[in-house]
Copies of this chain bind each other. A is one copy, B any other.
C-alpha cells in the first residue's frame, strides 16, 4: 500500500504536503512508541535521547522483540542508509544523529548503505558518475556525525555489489511484480532497475548474520518514508532463515517554507551542510513562520509554534534542552518572542552548529577509508 491522499503523500521517492503521522501509523500498520516501550529503553540507556522524548522518532516495528533479544544477551546491529541524489541537508542528518546515539548506547555495529544505484535509476537526469560524487560528499557528513570507525561499515551499492547482488536475488525471488506494484505503485513506464531495487535495500539487515554464520538481530532507524521497502522485505527474511529486522521510524524535518519535508529540490527552503553562514542566515531570515502579520498582533495574540519551521528547527536539531524548548514555546505563544529575534537566534545557533559540523566534515576526508566496505 502506498500512501496517497489529498493532503499528503509519503512514498520512498516522494514526500509531499503536511504529514499526518497518526494517520501514517494506521495506514502503514506500524506501532506508536508507547510509554511502556520507552520505559524499557530507558532501563538500558538512562536518559532518553531528545528525539525519543519529543517523539521525533515516533513509531516502530518489533522494537519490543528486539529488546527481548537484547535482554537475553543478543546484541543487535544497526542498519541505515542514504540515497545520494545531492548534497546533504539538515533533514537527512536527523536519523543519522539518532542512529549515532543508539550505536553509542548499545555499542552496536552499523551498516550504512549508500544507494547510488537507486538514485541513478530513479533520477532521470543523474549519471552514475554524479551520483558517485554525491555519495562521497555525503559520506563526509556521515562520518562527521561521529560514528565509531571500528564499528561502522559504509558502502556504495555499486562498489559492494559482489556481496550485495547475490544476496539481493535471494530476496527478489520471493517478491512478485504484483507485490512490488501494490506497495510502490509502479507503472508501465517504470524501468526494470527501479522494480528490482527494493531487493538491494533488503540486504544490509542480514550482512552481519551472513558474516557471522548465525542470526544477529538488526534495528533499522529510518525516516518513515522508507518503511514500504521493509514492509515487503520483512515477510521474506524468515523465508531465507533470518530474523525480521526491527524498525524505528522518524518524522521529517520540515522545509523553511510552508509545509512539507525539507527537500533539496527547493534549495531556498533547505539548509545544506556545506552552506555558507551568509546563506544560512538569509534562508532562515526568509523562512515562513507561525507568527502574526505585525509586531503588535504578535505581542497581543502570540504566534503558533506548531506550524512554524523556525520553531521546528530548534525542536528537531538545535535546542536539546527540554526546559529551554518549553520556554521558546511559551514565549512564542504568549507574544514575548517576536519572529525576527527568534529567527536571528536560530540563525546564529545554526551557523555555529554548521561551522562545527563543517570542521568535522573536513577532518572526515582523511578517515573515509577506515569506514568503507568494498568487495
Residues of A within 8 A of B (CB): 117, 120-121, 128, 157-162, 164-166, 168-170, 172-178, 180-181, 186-196, 198-199, 375
8 chain-A/chain-B pairs, Cβ below 8 angstroms: A120-B169, A120-B173, A121-B173, A128-B169, A161-B162, A175-B192, A192-B195, A196-B196
The interface residues of chain A, by DSSP majority, are classed as: helix
In the complex the two chains form, what is the Cα distance from A120 to B195 in whole Å? 18
In the complex the two chains form, what is the Cα distance from A25 to B30 in whole Å? 55
| B-chain residues with CB within 8 Å of residue A192 when the two chains form the complex | 172, 175-177, 180, 195-196, 198-199
Residue of B nearest to A160 (CB): B162
In the complex the two chains form, what is the Cα distance from A158 to B181 in whole Å? 26
| B-chain residues with CB within 8 Å of residue A189 when the two chains form the complex | 176-178
In the complex the two chains form, what is the Cα distance from A174 to B190 in whole Å? 9
| B-chain residues with CB within 8 Å of residue A160 when the two chains form the complex | 162
| B-chain residues with CB within 8 Å of residue A375 when the two chains form the complex | 162, 375
Residue of B nearest to A126 (CB): B173
| B-chain residues with CB within 8 Å of residue A166 when the two chains form the complex | 117, 128, 158, 161
The answer, among B121, B159, B169, B188, for a CB contact under 8 Å with A176, is B188
B193 touching A173, Cβ below 8 Å: yes
Residue of B nearest to A170 (CB): B128
A199 touching B188, Cβ below 8 Å: no
| B-chain residues with CB within 8 Å of residue A181 when the two chains form the complex | 188
In the complex the two chains form, what is the Cα distance from A319 to B29 in whole Å? 68
B186 touching A177, Cβ below 8 Å: yes
Closest CB in chain B relative to A52 CB, distance in Å: 35
Tell me whether A191 and B177 are in contact in the complex, defined as CB-CB below 8 angstroms, given that A170-B128, A172-B196 are known contacts. yes
A191 touching B174, Cβ below 8 Å: yes
| B-chain residues with CB within 8 Å of residue A195 when the two chains form the complex | 177, 192, 195-196
Residue of B nearest to A200 (CB): B165
What are the 5 closest A-B residue pairs judged by CB atoms, nearest first?
A172-B193, A196-B196, A162-B162, A161-B165, A178-B188
Q: Which of A177, A187, A375 has the most CB of B within 10 A?
A: A177
Q: Which of A128, A157, A187, A196 has the most CB of B within 10 A?
A: A196
In the complex the two chains form, what is the Cα distance from A158 to B161 in whole Å? 9
In the complex the two chains form, what is the Cα distance from A158 to B128 in whole Å? 21
Residue of B nearest to A196 (CB): B196
Q: Which of A157, A162, A178 has the most CB of B within 10 A?
A: A162
In the complex the two chains form, what is the Cα distance from A117 to B198 in whole Å? 17
